[in-house]
Amino acid sequence: MEDDFKHLVRISRKDVDGNKTIEQALTDIKGVGISLSKTLCRTLDLDLKSQIGYIADEDVLRIEEILENPQKFDIPTWMLNRREDYETGDDLHLIESDLDMTLRDDLNRMKKTRSYKGRRHEVGLPVRGQRTKSTFRHSSSVGVKRGR
């Protein structure tokens, strides 16, 4: 049994620690949260609490296949992180570098079109309507400066 243990398991271009549970190890992959991790394990009939170092190579390939196309395995649409993609209109789930590149492209598109969110991103201010009187300050604190 000890011979089958792998200290590092490579899943979708990411090395995960073999000592972690399957549920926690899958969340190390960028774009996979705890709920998607649990759903993947239930879809593949894997034990959530077993260590990922003991998982078979066939199961790793099945996990990668589900991460590439989760809709093919009846993962609900609301669990995907890129619904109704801007360019294609399809529901996608992106992980790792694909997620980073798409986010960067979205921000650049907003900045280029000079949308409200794009302008707020450019200046480094909050984008989603938070108040800015006392938060998001970079150098000085709130209050009255004493003069001498």
Q: What mean pLDDT comes out for the span 4-19?
A: 87
CA angle 38, 40, 44 (to 5 degrees): 120
- Predicted confidence (pLDDT) at residue 111 exceeds the cutoff of 90: yes
Burial of 106 (0-12, 13-18, 19+ CB in 10 A): middle
- Residues 126-147: pLDDT tens digits? 999 888 888 887 766 556 667 7
> What whole-number distance in Å separates Cα of residue 42 and Cα of residue 39?
5
Q: What is the DSSP string of 28-85?
A: TSTT--HHHHHHHHHHHT--TTSBGGG--HHHHHHHHHHHH-GGGGT--GGG-SB-S-
- For position 107, what pLDDT does the model report? 93
Q: What is the DSSP string of 123-146?
A: HT--SS----SSSS-SSSPSSPPP
Q: What mean pLDDT comes out for the span 4-16?
A: 87
> Average per-residue pLDDT in the chain?
87
- For position 114, what pLDDT does the model report? 94
Domain boundaries, the chain: 8-79, 95-126
Supply 44's token pair: 């593949």
Confidence of residue 34 (pLDDT cuts 50, 70, 90): very high
φ, ψ (nearest 5 deg) of residue 51: -75, 145
- Residues 85-107: pLDDT tens digits? 888 888 888 888 888 999 999 99
- For position 35, what pLDDT does the model report? 92
CATH number for the region 8-79 comes to: 1.10.8.50
Confidence of residue 2 (pLDDT cuts 50, 70, 90): low
- Predicted confidence (pLDDT) at residue 59 exceeds the cutoff of 60: yes
Q: Which residues pair with residue 9 across a beta bridge?
A: 16
